[in-house]
Amino acid sequence: MPTNPTPPRDGTPPEARRVTIVPGGPVLVEGPVEVTLDDGSVARSDRFLVALCACRRSRTYPFCDTSHRRRTRLPAAEAGESDQACGGQK
């Protein structure tokens, strides 16, 4: 997916991609996608729906491997600051 997509020759705007933010989970993006990482490398996926990691715990970052599920929630009194990227899980 280029950074500046070329509009179709007939003048219609390119079709928008659907992005869904899952509370406490990943960001779902209709694929295929190319994700440019901090170091400039590009991760590609040809899947029809791609889950992007929002908590950075994934071993397959930038793609979600459900690592955020392995953490348990602390009672509110013990939790202190919450990790907003993973829906308040620590």
The two tokens of residue 21 are 């933010």
- Give residue 53's pLDDT: 94
- Give residue 1's pLDDT: 44
Contact 66, 37 (CB under 8 A): no
- Interstrand relation of 33-36 and 42-45 (parallel, antiparallel or unpaired): antiparallel
DSSP reduced 3-state for 68: helix
HSE (CB half, 13 Å, CA atoms) of 4?
A: 0
Give the domain ranges of the chain: 17-65
**Taking the model in full, what pTM does it have?**
0.62
Contact 19, 31 (CB under 8 A): no
What average pLDDT values come out for the chain (90 residues) when binned by 10 residues? Answer: 58 84 93 95 96 92 87 60 47
- Give residue 75's pLDDT: 67
- Give residue 80's pLDDT: 53
- Give residue 9's pLDDT: 74
Name the β-bridge partners of 36. Answer: 42
